[in-house]
Amino acid sequence: MAVLWLLLLGGLTTFFLGHFVWAVVKHFLTTEVPSSLKHPVKLRVMHCFVLFLMALGNTLEKLRICTLNKFVQFFGDIGVIKKDPIVLVTNMRFGSIPVRLFQPKAMSSQLQRDTYHNLCSFLVRETDSVLLSVGYGELPHYHHPVLFNDCLSATIQFLRGPETYGVDPSRVVLCGESVEAWAVATIVQVLLSSFSLPKIRAQILITPIIQAINFCLPSHQKSKNVPFLTREFMIFCVCKYLAIDVSWKDAMLTGAVIPLDKWKKYSKWISSDNIPRRFWSQDLQPEFLGCFNEAAYLETKHIFDVQISPVLADNKIIAQLPEVFLVTCENDILRDDGLLYKKRFEDQGVPVTWNHVEDGFHGCLVLFDWKFLSFPCSVKIVNTVVGYIKNI
113 pLDDT more than 60: no
217 pLDDT more than 80: yes
- The mean-pLDDT minimum among 163-167, 249-253, 332-336 falls in 163-167
Q: How confident is the model at residue 315 (pLDDT cuts 50, 70, 90)?
A: very high
In a domain, residue 155? The reply is yes
109 pLDDT more than 50: no
In a domain, residue 169? The reply is yes
Q: What is the CATH classification number for the domain harbouring 273? A: 3.40.50.1820
Range of the domain at 264: 142-392
Average pLDDT over residues 5-20: 77
Q: Which one has a higher pLDDT value, 113 or 366?
A: 366
In a domain, residue 367? The reply is yes
111 pLDDT more than 90: no
- The mean-pLDDT minimum among 90-99, 109-118, 209-218 falls in 109-118
Q: How confident is the model at residue 43 (pLDDT cuts 50, 70, 90)?
A: very high
Q: How confident is the model at residue 18 (pLDDT cuts 50, 70, 90)?
A: confident
Average pLDDT over residues 174-199: 96
In a domain, residue 245? The reply is yes
175 pLDDT more than 50: yes
Number of domains forming the structure of the chain? 1
Average pLDDT over residues 312-328: 98
Q: How confident is the model at residue 289 (pLDDT cuts 50, 70, 90)?
A: low
- The mean-pLDDT minimum among 34-43, 268-277, 299-308, 317-326 falls in 34-43
* Averaged confidence pLDDT in the chain: 89
Q: Which one has a higher pLDDT value, 357 or 116?
A: 357
In a domain, residue 281? The reply is yes
In a domain, residue 294? The reply is yes
In a domain, residue 240? The reply is yes
202 pLDDT more than 70: yes
Which of 84, 114, 150, 332 is the catalytic position? 332
For the question of residue 27 being annotated catalytic, the response is no
- The mean-pLDDT minimum among 54-68, 96-110, 301-315, 376-390 falls in 96-110
144 pLDDT more than 80: yes
SS (H, E, C) the chain: CHHHHHHHHHHHHHHHHHHHHHHHHHHHHHCCCCCCCCCHHHHHHHHHHHHHHHHHHHHHHHCCCCCHHHHHHHHHCCCCCCCCCCEEEEEEEECCEEEEEEEECCCCCCCCCCCCHHHHHHHHHHHCCCEEEECCCCCCCCCCCHHHHHHHHHHHHHHCCHHHHCCCHHHCEEEEECHHHHHHHHHHHHHCCCCCCCCCCEEEEECCCCCCCCCCCHHHHHCCCCCCCCHHHHHHHHHHHCCCCHHHHHHHHCCCCCCHHHHHHHHHHHCHHHCCHHHCCCCCCCCCCCCCCHHHHHHHHHHHCCCCCHHHCCHHHHCCCCEEEEEEEEECCCHHHHHHHHHHHHHCCCCEEEEEEEEEECCCHHHCCCHHHCCHHHHHHHHHHHHHHHHC
For the question of residue 332 being annotated catalytic, the response is yes
140 pLDDT more than 80: no
Q: How confident is the model at residue 1 (pLDDT cuts 50, 70, 90)?
A: low
Q: How confident is the model at residue 88 (pLDDT cuts 50, 70, 90)?
A: confident
Q: How confident is the model at residue 19 (pLDDT cuts 50, 70, 90)?
A: confident
Percent of the chain beyond pLDDT 90? 67
For the question of residue 193 being annotated catalytic, the response is no
Alpha-carbon distance 278 to 283, whole Å? Answer: 13
Which of 84, 133, 362, 378 is the catalytic position? 362
Query: What pLDDT score was predicted for residue 79?
Result: 55
299 pLDDT more than 90: yes
Average pLDDT over residues 131-159: 89
Average pLDDT over residues 333-356: 98
112 pLDDT more than 60: no
Q: How confident is the model at residue 110 (pLDDT cuts 50, 70, 90)?
A: very low
353 pLDDT more than 90: yes
Which of 121, 129, 133, 178 is the catalytic position? 178
Highest mean pLDDT among 65-69, 279-283, 348-352: 348-352
